[in-house]
Copies of this chain bind each other. A is one copy, B any other.
């Protein structure tokens, strides 16, 4: 997986992302994929161990790209608020790109074989939480700490609300504008905070193993 990928492998991934997104994982047969790629069924298994491992490869690939984008954004020398805006924009951009596939992913949860996938998704969510934490503290100072958990839940909620719009409609939203809009909403939310709903250590306390912070 870490290897540079062959053209064929990339082709398979591209086409299958498309098909999975459109029809779902279970309803897309290996045959469908190979036909879309113009290759033989055998060729598929030359590149992937199984249909399931393809799914994991795709997600891994997505996660890698995403992580890289985000971390390079976070290293830029701009104000914390600009960083959060950038961060939000990246979320929307990536959602826009992988959207349907991501939606589909949410389905194939806990099957024994897909446990690897589950772990990957958990890892991704943890990253997201950590990044948001850091950004929020950078922006709003240490006073926000009592509200961190709530804020993260809410921000992810807001993002998901608009992400779904991006997925469901083909609306070509202006991601930059949307990011700025949400930044402003976040400001409002923070301004009105009084008593937190969730405890500060909520993420650590709940389901130490199967962490609750899964999105």
Contacts and interface: CB of A to CB of B under 8 A. Distances in A.
B157 A181 contact: no
A162 interface: yes
A192 B191 contact: yes
Interface string A169-188: 10100000110010011011
B157 A160 contact: yes
A110 interface: yes
Interface in A180-211: 181, 184-185, 187-189, 191-195, 197-198, 206-207
Contacts of A110: 22-24, 27
Contacts of A154: 157-158, 161, 185
A194 B184 contact: yes
A103 interface: yes
Interface string A1-36: 000000000000000000000111011000000000
A54 to B, nearest CB: 17
B24 A171 contact: no
Interface string A94-113: 00000000011011111100
B197 A181 contact: yes
A161 B191 CA distance: 20
26 contacts: A23-B109, A23-B110, A23-B111, A24-B110, A26-B27, A103-B106, A103-B107, A103-B109, A104-B107, A107-B107, A154-B158, A154-B185, A157-B157, A158-B158, A158-B161, A164-B215, A168-B207, A168-B212, A168-B214, A169-B206, A171-B212, A178-B197, A188-B188, A188-B191, A188-B192, A191-B192
Given A22-B110, A187-B192, 15 more contacts: A24-B107, A24-B110, A26-B27, A103-B106, A103-B109, A153-B161, A153-B162, A154-B161, A158-B161, A165-B212, A171-B206, A181-B195, A181-B197, A184-B192, A189-B189
